[in-house]
Amino acid sequence: MIACRSCGAQFDAALVRCPYCGTAYAPAEENEYMGQLEDIRTDLESADIEGYKAPEQHYKMGAPHSDDMRQYDTAYTDTRRRVIGSALRTCGLAKRAAILVVLIIAAIIMSVISSMNYADPDPDAEVRRDSERNAAAYAQEAEAYLQRGEYTEYMSYLYAHELQNCPPSEFDHLKSVTYVASEYYDCIKYMEVIILRSDDPDYFDGLDTDIGIFVRGVDEFYEVYEVQRESKQGRDYIACMDEMKTELEAAMRTYFDMDEDELREFLSTSEAQKGVILEEVLRHE
């Protein structure tokens, strides 16, 4: 019985490795190795192969070549140690790492599929591409709306073609008038909503909210109008801007029952005061 050099357990000296931890026992391994070589030599001799010379002159079991054999044995043992050491180092780790990588890749793939399924297609993307392709024709069409004095239609046309921000260069000269038209559009829209609201007492009455949005829109219209009318870009469309202002004021006089002086006074008040005045007029208070 000998003690294992690695784990210290006792085992039979004839065993080539420790049965508990697997550490190689060099003397027993050497004996086994030598025995295998002897078996090979015996087999070759008994096979009587032509040209084969028994290695008696070069190799004799025992003393003369024992140094060579020890050298071979040392190399064998070193290799074996390296192989076992390497196996110990990576034993199960590579497998686990592979599983981890597969799981991460699977999670990424599933995440990408989920994102693709949840992403709704952008319905305006094709419209924007179309507008970029046909910018010149659309600019011409938009100008026709301006020439006819159809300002709400002009803005609707720009919105429908995603051109309200005038990105293509063909719309550069229309920027100023578009800013004013955008405010005019909001004012007219909310005036229509207010005037044509339901008179059914059971229907939700959003008058306060609509009045709030409208009065803010009116103030913004005048701010934008003053700035854009003086801008270089707006020079060619001053008539359009003035017409929008005239129509908006006419609409306010008509539908809010105001004369010119009352309208001027109304426009000079704050947003909150405008809201109160409009509510009084519209609710007949």
Partner 1 sequence: MNKPGIAKVRIAKVRIAKVILNILIVIAALVCLAMLADMMGSFKYANREVEDPAETGMMVFEYDLEHRAYGEIVNGWYVDRMSSMEAPAGLEPTYLVAEYAHTAFMSRVYEETGDAEAMAANSARREDLRNSLGDYGYTADEVDDMIINAP
Beta strands 10-11; 2-3: pairing state: antiparallel
Q: Which is nearer to partner 1, 194 or 218 (CB)?
A: 194
- Among 51, 196, 259, 261, indicate the residue that binds partner 1 (CB under 8 A): 196
Q: Is position 50 an interface residue for partner 1 (rule: CB under 8 A)?
A: no
d(CA 245, CA 221): 8
Least CB distance to partner 1 at residue 138 (A): 12
Map residue 24 onto helix, strand or coil: strand
Q: Which is nearer to partner 1, 51 or 201 (CB)?
A: 201
Q: Which is nearer to partner 1, 41 or 216 (CB)?
A: 216
- Under DSSP, the state recorded for 122 is -
Q: Is position 122 an interface residue for partner 1 (rule: CB under 8 A)?
A: no
- Among 17, 41, 65, 253, indicate the residue that binds partner 1 (CB under 8 A): 253
Site for partner 1 in 135-174 (CB under 8 A): 148-149, 152, 156-157, 159-160
Q: How far is CA 52 from CA 40, 43, 248, in A?
A: 13, 12, 118
d(CA 59, CA 120): 82
Kindly give the interhelix angle for 238-255 and 260-268, rounded to the nearest 10 degrees: 100
- Among 15, 16, 23, 173, indicate the residue that binds partner 1 (CB under 8 A): 23
Burial label, 89 (beta-carbon count in 10 A; 0-12, 13-18, 19+): exposed
Q: Is position 2 an interface residue for partner 1 (rule: CB under 8 A)?
A: no
d(CA 205, CA 162): 32
User: Which spans of this chain sit near partner 1 (rule: CB under 8 A)?
Assistant: 5-8, 23, 85, 88-89, 91-93, 96-97, 99-100, 103-104, 106-107, 110-111, 113-118, 123, 148-149, 152, 156-157, 159-160, 188-189, 191-200, 202-203, 210, 246-247, 250-251, 253-257, 281-282, 284
